[in-house]
Amino acid sequence: MRFDRLPIAVLRTRYVPGGWDVLAFALVFVFLIYCAQAAHGLTGSLARLQATPISLDPWALIGYSARTALRMVLAMVASLIFTFTYATLAARSRRAEVILVPLLDFLQSVPILGFSFTILFFLQLTPGRVAGAELAAIFLIFTSQAWNMAFSFYHSLRSIPDEMVEAARNFQLSPWMRFWRLEVPFAMPALIWNMMMSMSGGWFFLVFSEAITVGHTTVSLPGVGSYIALAIEQKNLAAIGWAIAAMFVVILLFDQLLFRPLNASADWFRLDQEAGFTTSRSWALTMMRRSRFLRLVSEGFAALLRLGMKPRSTHGAPPAGAAQVWRARWVDYAWYTLLIVVGIGAVWRIARFVLEEVPPAEIVRVLLYGLFTLLRVAVLIALASLIWVPIGVWVGLRPRVASVVQPIAQFLAAFPANLFFPLVVSAIVLLKLTPDVWLSPLMILGTQWYILFNVIVGASAIAPDLRYAGENLGVRGWLWWRRIALPAVFPFYVTGAITASGGSWNASVNAEVAAWGTETVRAHGLGAYIADSTAAGDFQRNVLGIMVLSLLVVILNRVFWRPLYARAERKFRIS
């Protein structure tokens, strides 16, 4: 596996292309050509885009997939840049932290439709061009990807072992070097896992980010999302099938070419071999490692990073006067006062803005909608837990099954709820079911898998000794579940349930209103309220709905999930 890393490779060798190079070459250039083609559309005019409608021809999907994939990649790059700057600032500055972290908490709870209005801004940025709409789409995908990545990075930065930080300082690494040599590698495993989750999130909301409707402004960018939107509008089942196939292929490619290599290389970043079911292997990583061509490229990148590394002074700079003042207490107080004043001002402004249009009675109604949605989320999480916890434990104890189940669940997590609209709407209309009940499962469609993922990880992490001890004592049946399996996976389950619950709230905008052709079914809830207000271009109601939703999510996290998590940590983890 690592022949190329033996001491001989330490010496410089001449560049001789090998077998892996051919493959690497081919893949890199196919990718470049694809990018060029996809980017070509950017400069076109908006009028022409609107004149060329989306085609449901399956062959058109190849081009659409490329465009969608490119948008996703660009959004991912933007998310990474956001993560690296925002989270780093939050972790390095105590003053920035007090505002940035709660802000991130809040942003994470805002559903994608809350950002739809930005399309008006992006369209004005490049009048008459497609580029503005493309930017808007990328931004919307970004909003479904960035927040959890930033959170994960922030947490990683905060948990770097002290002695490693001290070693970095002792050897006088510059901040730039410390970032790339210590902080990023340390955060990598968690960040990659979150990137995968983010990708799934991006897919789940794809229809919203490509086929954007805000009031009278409607833009359908060529892509898989718009294709799905059109297929639903035209009740074209075959097209839906093709879209699923195209999605499957693109997700598979992402998995093989991006996430699997990343995961396999992240194993090298881990401090210890953790108990888990991913002993990652990746042919793509092998190719990258063996291909001298790609190694040259990566060495170039490494050299670029080294540019920022400057030798430091011998005795360390004495703290300057300005720095002393900057650290003083009264600067703290001034800063907090400023934050409070700005906060009060903002609340005042929002309240005036919303109340201009919305009567107080409606606010009460919206709160009630919030309770409906809350009830749905609670029932669904409970149901999903009943189903997936036992299955997850069963799978987790069998590593071979786990390695099969994990990629499947990952694909299902990316599955947009819209693709189930035909099934659900037809069933509701035909069987005259209550939408308030039967639309609900759509909410948890994409998020239930996080419960499964985490329970599998938890079950596979049960120490063998513990299992043997259980067998040895003859602990079986319900007693085994109650005393061994459930307590062991509980902390993991809570982590999964938190993710699933947060995601379900976001998904409510995608699940409480469902359409199939001209048939539209609607449940009473906050998600439906937000979706409707966006479609109507009613900014005030949109803001109100999103504020209530965010508030509910944040409160729920603070008073229910976090204490539960702390308790799980304390009670069920040894040492």
Partner 1 sequence: MNATAPALNLAPLLEVQGVCKSFRKPDGDQLVVLENVNLQLRPGEIVGLLGRSGSGKSTLLRLIAGLDEPTSGVVGYLGHPVSGPASGIAMVFQSFALFPWLTVLENVQLGLEAQGVAENEKRKRSLQAIDLIGLDGFESAYPRELSGGMRQRVGFARALVVHPNLLLMDEPFSALDVLTAETLRGDFLNLWGEGQLPIKSVLLVTHNIEEAVQMCDRLLIFSTNPGRVVGEIVVDLSQPRNAEDPRFRALIDRVYVEMTARPRGEVRTGPKERFPGTGIGTVLTHVSSNVLIGLIETVAATPYDGKADLPVIAEEQHLEVDELFPAAEALQMLRFAEVEGGDIRLTDAGLEFARSETDERKKLFARHLITYVALAAHVRRVLDERASHSAPKSRFFDELEDYMAQEAAEQTLRTIVSWGRYAEVFAYDDHAQVFSLENPA
Structure tokens at 525: 């809830």
Residue 272 makes contact with partner 1 by CB under 8 A: yes
Q: Is 223 helix (H, G, I), strand (E, B) or coil?
A: coil
Residue 321 makes contact with partner 1 by CB under 8 A: no
Residue 333 makes contact with partner 1 by CB under 8 A: no
Residue 319 makes contact with partner 1 by CB under 8 A: yes
* CB of 30 or CB of 323, closer to partner 1: 323
Q: Which stretch binds partner 1 (CB under 8 A): 71-79, 267-275, 471-479, 486-494?
A: 267-275
Q: How far is the CB of 114 from partner 1 (least distance, A)?
A: 38
Exactly one of 171, 248, 333, 336 binds partner 1 (CB under 8 A); which one?
171
Q: Is 220 helix (H, G, I), strand (E, B) or coil?
A: strand
Site for partner 1 in 402-421 (CB under 8 A): none
Q: Which stretch binds partner 1 (CB under 8 A): 239-247, 317-325, 428-436, 479-487?
A: 317-325
Q: Which residue has the tokens 């959170």?
A: 151
Site for partner 1 in 4-33 (CB under 8 A): 5-7, 9-10
Residue 343 makes contact with partner 1 by CB under 8 A: no
* CB of 7 or CB of 474, closer to partner 1: 7
Q: What are phi and psi of 219, to 5 degrees?
A: -130, 130
The 184-213 site mask, x for binding partner 1 (CB under 8 A), equals: -xx-x-------------------------
Q: How far is the CB of 351 from partner 1 (least distance, A)?
A: 36
Cα distance between residue 83 and residue 89, in whole Å: 10
* CB of 57 or CB of 274, closer to partner 1: 274
Cα distance between residue 230 and residue 239, in whole Å: 9
CA distances 319 to 314, 322, 328, Å, are 14, 8, 13
* CB of 95 or CB of 181, closer to partner 1: 181
Exactly one of 127, 316, 359, 360 binds partner 1 (CB under 8 A); which one?
316
Residue 94 makes contact with partner 1 by CB under 8 A: no
Exactly one of 155, 312, 327, 483 binds partner 1 (CB under 8 A); which one?
312
* CB of 157 or CB of 239, closer to partner 1: 157
Pinpoint the alpha helices (H) of 205-236: 206-210, 224-233
Question: Which residues does residue 520 pair with via DSSP β-bridges, in sequence order?
Answer: 515
For CA atoms 205, 207, 211, 214, the dihedral sign is negative
* CB of 267 or CB of 362, closer to partner 1: 267
Cα distance between residue 385 and residue 392, in whole Å: 10
Nearest to 322 by CA among 331, 313, 314: 331
Q: How far is the CB of 181 from partner 1 (least distance, A)?
A: 7
Residue 37 makes contact with partner 1 by CB under 8 A: no
Cα distance between residue 421 and residue 442, in whole Å: 9
The end-to-end CA distance of the chain, in Å, is 36
Cα distance between residue 244 and residue 471, in whole Å: 45
Cα distance between residue 255 and residue 191, in whole Å: 15
Q: Which stretch binds partner 1 (CB under 8 A): 21-29, 168-176, 432-440, 515-523?
A: 168-176
Cα distance between residue 76 and residue 63, in whole Å: 20
Size of the site for partner 1 (CB under 8 A): 41
Residue 386 makes contact with partner 1 by CB under 8 A: no
Which element (helix H / strand E) includes 240? helix 237-254
Exactly one of 1, 52, 268, 574 binds partner 1 (CB under 8 A); which one?
268
Cα distance between residue 469 and residue 463, in whole Å: 10
Nearest to 410 by CA among 252, 253, 279, 284: 252
Exactly one of 166, 274, 332, 569 binds partner 1 (CB under 8 A); which one?
166
Q: How far is the CB of 313 from partner 1 (least distance, A)?
A: 8
Across 201-299, where does the E strand assignment appear? 211-214, 217-220
Give buried/exposed letters for 276-286 (b at 16+ CB in 10 A, else e).
Answer: bbbeeebebbe
Backbone conformation region of residue 215, classed left if phi is above 0, alpha if psi is from -120 to 50, else beta: left
Nearest to 27 by CA among 199, 296, 284: 284
Residue 302 makes contact with partner 1 by CB under 8 A: no
Exactly one of 127, 300, 311, 321 binds partner 1 (CB under 8 A); which one?
311
Exactly one of 52, 124, 314, 575 binds partner 1 (CB under 8 A); which one?
314
Q: How many CB atoms lie within 10 A of CB 555?
A: 10
Exactly one of 42, 177, 401, 554 binds partner 1 (CB under 8 A); which one?
177
Residue 329 makes contact with partner 1 by CB under 8 A: no
* CB of 167 or CB of 344, closer to partner 1: 167
**Contact footprint for partner 1 (CB under 8 A):** 2, 5-7, 9-10, 161, 163-164, 166-167, 169-174, 177, 181-182, 185-186, 188, 268-273, 306, 309-312, 314-319, 571
